Amino acid sequence: MKTSQAHPDFAAAWQNGGMVAKNAGQPATPADLINVDDVIGRYYDAVPDPSNPEQRVIFGTSGHRGSSLKTSFNEAHIVAISQAIAEYRKKAGVTGPLYIGRDTHALSGPAQHTAIEVLVANGVRVRVDSRDDFVPTPVVSQAILTHNRAQDGTQRFTGDGLADGIVVTPSHNPPTDGGFKYDPVTGGPAPADVTNAIAERANELLGSYRSVKRIPYEQATTSDLVERFDYREHYVADLGDVIDFDAIRSSGVRLGIDPLGGASVHYWSLMNERYNLDIDVIRPDVDPTWRFMTIDHDGKIRIDPSSPYAMKGLVDELNSGAWDRYDLVGGTDPDADRHGIVCPNWGVMNPNHYIAVCVEYLFGGHRPGWPKTSGIGKTLVSSSLIDRVAASIGATLVEVPVGFKWFVDPLFTGKVAFGGEESSGMSFLRRNGRIWTTDKDGLIPDLLAAEITAVTGKNPAQLHQAQVERFGESWYSRVDTPTTLEQKRKFASLSGDAVTATTLAGEDITAKLTEAPGNGAPIGGLKVTTKNNWFAARPSGTENIYKVYAESFVSPEALDKVLAEASTVVDKALAD
């Protein structure tokens, strides 16, 4: 069977129904750049209206996100959320330190300062980076879990002195945005019951945020409640438990890393020093305007290492002769919870394809210390190629709703040894089967790509081509459609009865799902499957759009039919 080329195939997945901005993939111009002073100034000066739904605290799949320019991420929000978190952790009996980290967005520094002022005023011990450096999302998760580890190596969920954390980041979102997420004692994104309680209390406080007690930042940071912690050393020293550095070192694999101006930028040099590797940081620039980026599919600067549009500048540089220095290149986003894999003669790998390569490698005999009963976790909008790979190696598949929070408990308990999602997020266990992180880790997938290349002699794109030969070629796409808050609410009440058709793109429908097969949790939408096709529709947790994901193992034309029929089903359901 003919193999697909990941770069053009994946580009289609970002076209949103064929609509790509004219400047997609082009270098950012001065007109595309933010005014950093204005963005930060609005953080302090703009005051949200609690009666405006667009300006309230809303926790999506990974925390509260917004923009100071839209009065949806401002000082008032962070004061209210931080106070709500302080009250929640006291009620929950969390008495240990709170680990806090931030990424390189312009709003992340001011928001971290605000949070520390409120947390210290509430008597919370806060652990900040000893170098005053950026701290990636997975590094906070790893620090929490290490702190909460019992003497026998198991994880503590209850007991005195447990730690939790906050990461100040909007992940890959544009430079105008800010984000704020809470990690409870399990180390990953908080579940809905926790975030709902925090958001509800924060919105109660929003209108009177000035009455919340705070301690001036300079005074707070010199108090006994603010403790210095070497996040970088702590994380890098433990990486040898996760990645086979001996294999990478002995093979001489040359790994390039583009941190995309993000929080991982200073971590790679320490890896080189500690493990004697050959990792080169290609672009070490940190600039909150992200002026060095190429424009993403929708005309915005979005710092997504898995997007061929956002990565086009890097790929062009590599194809112009820089490949002479590297065997493969990895990338991370601003908080380093997403990864991107770039291979010679290929381009940016589709995250679905890379997940499939990873699970076959990891579960195919290269992690003998993993529990035999642990399964492969995937979100239900990830490629069915992963299902076919899992079946071929006899591994249990655990399919969950969208959002990495659904992998927290399975990773924590060992129900799954690997959790991955189509939006280039993953984490997996240490080589001895113990927990690593329960949040997405963008660094270890890049390192794993080097390990896979070292051990197999083939890079991940070449291994994907071999999988296509065995399991078939697929075509995958996602279409985003504007929607209203009322229509978003209707998704929650969708049922299989909304689908009256018996076939999809000419094949008999085999399932109409509103709950995830892996855990029975509501998916907040609908998934319809056949033998070789499927689509899933769900609203965005952070934007007023709904997303239709679709895949076909038949042909591009069949994918078009799936998308067309999916649109009819969704439009009818939302109109009822």
pLDDT band at 395 (very low <50, low <70, confident <90, very high): very high
- Closest to 238 measured CA to CA, from 91, 116, 139, 111: 139
**Percent over 70 (pLDDT), the chain:** 96
Which CATH number does the domain housing residue 112 bear?
3.40.120.10
Q: Which residues are catalytic?
A: 171
152 and 300 within one domain: no
What's the confidence (pLDDT) of residue 110?
A: 98
Which residues have C-beta within 8 Å of that of residue 154, sequence separation ≥ 6?
none
Looking at residues 401-416, what average pLDDT do you find?
Answer: 94
The answer to the question of residue 459 being in a domain is yes
467 and 555 within one domain: no
What's the confidence (pLDDT) of residue 19?
A: 67
The answer to the question of residue 4 being in a domain is no
What's the confidence (pLDDT) of residue 17?
A: 45
- Closest to 238 measured CA to CA, from 153, 176, 169: 153
pLDDT band at 70 (very low <50, low <70, confident <90, very high): very high
What's the confidence (pLDDT) of residue 154?
A: 83
429 and 296 within one domain: yes
Instruction: Report the SS3 class of residue 503.
Output: strand
Residue 573, pLDDT > 80, answer no
221 and 166 within one domain: yes
248 and 216 within one domain: no
550 and 508 within one domain: yes
pLDDT digits (tens, 9 = 90+) for 371-381: 999 999 999 99
The answer to the question of residue 18 being in a domain is no
Residue 5, pLDDT > 60, answer no
Helix (H), strand (E) at residue 45? helix 36-45
Which CATH number does the domain housing residue 506 bear?
3.30.310.50
Give the end of a domain, one of 447, 471, 495.
471
What mean pLDDT is reported for the chain?
Answer: 93
530 and 423 within one domain: no
Looking at residues 404-410, what average pLDDT do you find?
Answer: 95
pLDDT band at 492 (very low <50, low <70, confident <90, very high): confident
The answer to the question of residue 135 being in a domain is yes
The answer to the question of residue 98 being in a domain is yes
What's the confidence (pLDDT) of residue 310?
A: 97
pLDDT band at 151 (very low <50, low <70, confident <90, very high): confident
Looking at residues 69-96, what average pLDDT do you find?
Answer: 98
Give the end of a domain, one of 212, 229, 246.
229
Give the end of a domain, one of 471, 498, 523.
471
Looking at residues 430-444, what average pLDDT do you find?
Answer: 97
- Closest to 164 measured CA to CA, from 128, 126, 202: 126
- Closest to 271 measured CA to CA, from 462, 136, 371, 472: 136
429 and 482 within one domain: no
pLDDT digits (tens, 9 = 90+) for 304-316: 999 999 999 999 9
pLDDT digits (tens, 9 = 90+) for 183-193: 999 999 999 99
pLDDT band at 16 (very low <50, low <70, confident <90, very high): very low
Please count the structural domains in the chain. Answer: 3
Looking at residues 29-36, what average pLDDT do you find?
Answer: 98
What's the confidence (pLDDT) of residue 541?
A: 67
503 and 446 within one domain: no
Torsion angle, alpha carbons of 101, 104, 107, 111, to 10: 10
Residue 483, pLDDT > 70, answer yes
What's the confidence (pLDDT) of residue 409?
A: 95
Residue 170, pLDDT > 80, answer yes
pLDDT band at 156 (very low <50, low <70, confident <90, very high): confident
202 and 82 within one domain: yes
What's the confidence (pLDDT) of residue 153?
A: 82
Rounded Cα–Cα distance for residues 447 and 241 (Å):
12
Name the phi and psi angles at 342, rounded to 5: -120, 125
What's the confidence (pLDDT) of residue 6?
A: 36
What's the confidence (pLDDT) of residue 370?
A: 97
Q: Which domain holds residue 486?
A: 475-575
Helices 268-275, 231-238: axis angle to 10 degrees equals 50
The answer to the question of residue 10 being in a domain is no
The answer to the question of residue 22 being in a domain is no
Looking at residues 345-355, what average pLDDT do you find?
Answer: 96
210 and 278 within one domain: no
404 and 276 within one domain: yes
The answer to the question of residue 11 being in a domain is no
List C-alpha distances in Å: 420 to 338, 376, 397, 458: 11, 8, 11, 22
